[in-house]
Amino acid sequence: MSITLSAPPELIRDVRIYAERHSTSLNAIIREHLETIAAMERKARNEEAEKLKNFLSSEEGWFDGKVKFDREAANAR
């Protein structure tokens, strides 16, 4: 997938200089940073899902279906 990126010319220049010194490209640097952010986001989502799974399987989060809710109670604020 292609994207268009807007950034100040000085920033692009400085990162291209950095990329050249490190034998890489501006595109590769941006891709690497995007991959890092995406990996952190996936990890955070997985951790939240695991916390929810653990809570729901605990006594505190256990629901036996015996509790009945009426419309008024369910919508009470």
Model pTM score: 0.63
Using CA atoms of 43, 46, 51, 53 in order, give the dihedral in degrees to the nearest 10: -170
Q: At what angle do helices 26-57 and 9-21 cross, to 10 degrees?
A: 90
Q: How high is the pLDDT of residue 20? A: 98
- 45 vs 73, more confident: 45
Q: How high is the pLDDT of residue 69? A: 67
pLDDT of 23 over the 80 cut: yes
Q: How high is the pLDDT of residue 76? A: 79
Q: How high is the pLDDT of residue 39? A: 97
Cβ atoms of residues 17 and 9 within 8 Å: no
- Number of residues assigned to the chain: 77
Q: How high is the pLDDT of residue 16? A: 97
Q: Which of 62, 42, 60 is nearest to 50 (CA)?
A: 42
Q: How high is the pLDDT of residue 14? A: 98
Cβ atoms of residues 61 and 55 within 8 Å: yes
Domain-wise residue ranges, the chain: 9-75
